[in-house]
Structures are given as C-alpha cells and as structure tokens.
Amino acid sequence: MRQRFWTFWDRFGSAAMLGLVAAVFLLGLFGISWYARIHDLEFPFGTRLYIAASLFLLENGSLDGEIPWPLEIARWAAPVVLATAAIGTFLSVLRHRAWSLGGRRLRGHVVVIGLGERGWRAACSAKQAGRAVTVIEADATNPHVRAARRRGIPVIVGNAAELSRLRSARLDRASRALVFVGDDTATTAIADAVAELAQLPGVSLRSEFCCFLAVPDAEAANDLNALMHDQGALFRREFFTLEDRAGPVIVDRWAGLLTTPGAPAPLVVMGADVVARSVVAAAARQWSARTDGNVLEVHWLVSARTRRIERLLADLDGLTTVRIIVHELDSTQARSTVASALRGLRSIPSLVVVAEQDDADALSLLATTDLVLRDTGAMVVGVTERPSLVRLLDGHGRIELFDVGAELGDDDQIAHGRLEALGRALHDGYLRQLNRALPAAERIRKPAYRPWADLPHELRAQNYDAARAARGMLNELGFDIVPRTPLLPAVSDLDADTVETLARAEHTRWFLARNPEAAEPEWLDVDPVHAEQSRDQARRLPGVLAAADLQITPAPRREGP
C-alpha cells in the first residue's frame, strides 16, 4: 500500500494538489460572491479574490451571519489541502534525501552509473537477485530515477566524474561499478575520477572491486584494456561492449559448431555492425581449432566493406578450415541480392543472423530471408535491442529474436567479464579435445559435451573455477590473460617449467575440488597418464585462448598503493 501511495504521489501528486487548491479557491470565490448577495454587501472583485485566498490561512475576513454552504466547505477544506500539500512535499524531500544517504550504509554493493536502458536493466537485475545496489545519474528528470527509487534503489543525482558523488555512493566499499553513460568523454572522465578516488589518503578499494566501463566499439575496448593493463592500475578496470559479447552466445545457442559432426552447413550473417563482426569472428575461431579437415563456409552480406570489416578479414585470413565469402549488397536492390545469395548456397544454411542497426533494413532482410527459406527449416535470428522490433516480431514462429540488452545486460554477466570469456574458452577446448580423442558415440554420453549456452549451471561453475585458477596461476608466474591485441606481446608457447608448474597446480585444484577431505596429492605420485593429461592441457592453453580471441601476455609490474 505504501509503495502504491508513493507511486501515485510521484506520478500525479503535484497535479492532484494543484487541482485541489484550484477547486477549493474557486469554491471559496463562489461562496464569497453568494455571501455578498445574501447580506447585500458590495465586495469588489479584488476583495473577493483576497478573501478566497485568505481561506488557506484560516482567515475569512471576519464574516458574520449566514454562511453559504460553498463557503463553509471551502473555509474548512482550504487549510486541510494546504497542510496536506506541505506534509507531502516535506515527506517527499525527506524520502529523496534518505535515498541519497542510504547508499552510505552499503557494503559490497553494486554501483550503477548512468540510468539509460542498459543501466536500468543492470540495476534492476542486481536488485532482483538480492544484491545491494545504488545508482548515480546526472539527469534528475530521467524517468528511471523515480522508477528506481520506487523499487528501493538509492539514487544520487549528479555528475559521477565528481569525487563527491562517488563518495556518496560509497564506491570505496563497493564490489563493482558498472558505467553506462554512452559518451566516450564522460566515460573517460569517470574512469579518471575512480582512479583519483583510489589514490586518496585513507581510501582503500575492496580487493575484488572492478570498474566495468561500457564503450561502443569492440576494438576500442580491447585497446583500452591493453593500455590499462600496461599501465598497471591500482584497481581493476575493464572496458567492454555488450555487442561484442553477443557473437559467441549466438553461435553457441543456434549453430553448435563444436558439437556438430561432419561437414557443417553454411552460416549466413547480414550486417556490418559490432554484432555481425562478432558472430563472424566467433564462428570462424570456434571452427578453426577443429582438426577433422572439414571447411566452414561463412557468407557475410554487407552494404559496404568498411575498414573494420577488412581488418577482421585480414585477421581471419590464416584460418585454413574457414572460408569467409563477402557479398556486397546493392542498396537499391538489397532484397534481390539477398535472395540470390541465399538461393546460391551449396546447401541449406544452419543459421542466418540478421544484425542491422536500422529497423527498416532489418525488417526487409528478415522478410526476404523468411520468404526464401520458409520451408527449409533453417534457423533465422534477428538481433536487436529496440523494443519496437521486439514487439513487432514477438511470437513469430520462424524467426528467433536476440535482444542484446536483455540477454547480456545482467549485472552479474557483465561482472564475469574476462572470466566468462576464459571459462568459455576452456570449455571449448574441452569439446575440441573430446572431438579429437573419442568417437562420436562415446563423447555424446559425456554430460559436458554440449555448447556453452546449454551447459548446466553446476558445470558452468566448474569452468569458472578453472578459469579463476588458471588466471591466478598465470599471474603468479608473471603472466596475464587479456583480449587479443597487437598492442601487447602474445605468448604462443609456454616453456617446460611453466607447463610443469601449471599442470601440477591444475591437477591439485581438480583433485581437491572432488576430494575436499583428502590430503594434497604428491605430484610425483600422480598416475603418469593423468599427469601427462594435465601437461597437455597446459601446453594447449595459448591455442585455446587464441580461439576465443584471448592471449597470454607478460604481466606488468604493479605498484601498491
């Protein structure tokens, strides 16, 4: 009931109180005019206005004699309405102040900076999962501000690049910060402000703290992460773009390349934005690590070959088992070009992904694809984040929708960051190893022989544990795992001593995870077959990471605070 009251007050309180004041004033004005007629008094219009206004202050101009019922109602209602408005305003101000101060009591919470659609999704997902969350938003008129407060989420209004706002959100006690401001300059300013806060005397960020900063371009995110890595920051910062993370998820969910036996059907991608490039790269790198000799055809339909497309094609040019065929669409005849390309495929495609930023272009491509492939059973996926397109195609029987924000905007998924990519890479390496070592009849009986998207929670958690351990072990040996970038040297082969150390540590972790009450095994006593399996896993680690667009690089020296 209380939440409903404040929801009503936030939305309609001001208008309702103004309406009541106006109604009481008009009723009092009418009553004064009536009173003047009854008592044969000459009240100028200005006097009547004054008396009607004075009713709100418990004054009625010393009126005597018979009081008309409109005036009687007005002189009692006026102070009640005024008092209600004053009390409501006071409580509203007090409540908003309490929301701002509420963040100061938080510990280990999530700080969301920017309440656009993605920031709003992240804040709501954290709240729904039971995590404490507070928000910093620069625009006080943003409708999500009121909506967040109604959900019990403290909101600090102001510029997050100001230290005072970060302090109000108790960033120094937070477990993570998610930045969704949508502007590169503002994002950089916030990153600088967090760095400045971390260096202040008496400020000590939590050991697990990481600031995740959304940027619009995947290449920029990789380069920024490389620069931050090379500088050796006092706290963890990670730049990311949700669109770049979409590719592996889409390929896992609908293509299943790593668990597909034999020669794969062609894959078709339409569009030139970040999601389209991510899908092409994910499919190519996943398939390239297979050793069965089959070739994957990726047909990429684009309106123009941009610099980023050419760079990706050059990057993937050395993959011998992947053939990427680019079709340039004539803007005046896009539908016929798409239809011709689809009809010219050597076989029915396993997956068609339409990732166009423009709604009209996306609908045109989806409609053409659906008409050409309607009776073939091909999977067609439309990628979007726009509610208009989601509503239009919701429930369509032949087209699946992938909403980037809804699928990937969860605060916990964002916080996994490189851990998600590393865990996925380790699992993909496991699948490829099974493909090499076991016949199809045996490997399909393995519980974990399935794409990452279909992996049960407990098996995915095991990969996360292995990813944390691998990164920790590499850190101890002077290495780090970063997104692949030419800005940093890549370690393609680990020396024998490093392999031995990693194998021993991974086997010990694996054994104790399954036998928590047992003593730590002696490496020299481990079954030679199991020991060699651990060594082989360590040797393959650089290649496994490369297939996931990650690399091992020497770690910089990090200076303490």
pLDDT in tens, 487-498: 788 898 899 999
If one counts every other C-beta atom within 10 angstroms of the C-beta of residue 293, the result is: 8
Helix (H, G, I), strand (E, B) or coil at 155: strand
106-214 and 245-413: same fold? yes
pLDDT at 509: 87
pLDDT at 183: 82
pLDDT at 561: 41
Query: What is the rounded CA–CA span in Å between residue 6 and residue 11?
Result: 8
Buried b (16+ CB within 10 A) or exposed e, 54-82: ebbeeebeebeeebbebbeebbebbeebb
Query: What is the rounded CA–CA span in Å between residue 104 and residue 120?
Result: 21
> Which CATH number fits the domain 106-214, given the four candidates 3.40.50.720, 3.30.200.20, 3.20.10.10, 3.40.470.10?
3.40.50.720
- The alpha helices in 445-561, defined as continuous H runs, are 457-476, 496-514, 528-539, 541-547
pLDDT (tens place) for every residue of the chain, 561 residues total: 555 555 565 566 677 788 888 888 888 888 888 888 888 787 888 888 888 888 877 765 566 778 888 888 888 888 888 888 777 777 666 655 555 455 556 778 999 999 999 999 999 999 998 899 999 999 988 989 888 888 888 888 889 999 988 988 889 889 999 999 988 889 989 988 998 898 888 888 888 888 999 988 888 887 777 776 654 445 678 888 888 889 989 998 898 888 877 778 999 999 988 999 999 999 998 888 676 778 999 999 998 889 889 989 998 888 888 999 999 887 778 888 899 999 999 899 999 999 988 878 888 888 899 999 988 888 999 888 776 666 677 667 788 889 888 888 888 888 887 788 888 888 888 888 888 888 888 888 888 888 888 888 888 888 888 888 888 888 888 888 888 888 788 898 899 999 999 999 888 888 888 888 888 888 888 888 888 888 888 888 888 888 778 889 887 655 444
Q: In terms of Cα–Cα distance, which of 176, 135, 183 is closest to 157?
A: 135
Q: Which two tokens stand for residue 388?
A: 């208009």
Domain 417-554 = CATH 1.10.490 = yes
**pTM for the structure as a whole:** 0.75
Q: Which helix (H) or strand (E) holds 327?
A: strand 322-328
| Crossing angle of helices 69-102 and 143-150, rounded to 10° | 80
What are 122-170's pLDDT values in tens digits? 999 999 988 999 999 999 889 898 888 888 888 888 899 999 889 888 8
DSSP per-residue letters across 166-215: HHHTTGGG-SEEEE--S-HHHHHHHHHHHHHHHTSTT----TT-EEEEE-
Contact between 479 and 551 under an 8 Å Cβ cutoff? The reply is: no
Query: What is the rounded CA–CA span in Å between residue 118 and residue 404?
Result: 10
Query: What is the rounded CA–CA span in Å between residue 116 and residue 145?
Result: 10
- Beta strands 267-270 and 176-179 are unpaired
Locate the DSSP E strands across 355-506: 379-384, 399-403, 479-483
Domain 245-413 = CATH 3.40.50.720 = yes
Query: What is the rounded CA–CA span in Å between residue 137 and residue 144?
Result: 9
Place of tokens 């605070």: 561
* Interacting residues of 545 by C-beta distance below 8 A, sequence separation 6+: 422, 425, 481, 551, 552
> What residue ranges do the domains of the chain occupy?
2-97, 106-214, 245-413, 417-554
Q: In terms of Cα–Cα distance, which of 248, 249, 258, 252 is closest to 440?
A: 258
pLDDT at 11: 61
Helix (H, G, I), strand (E, B) or coil at 276: helix
Contact between 157 and 145 under an 8 Å Cβ cutoff? The reply is: yes
Say how far residue 192 (Cα) sits from the centre of its chain. Answer: 22
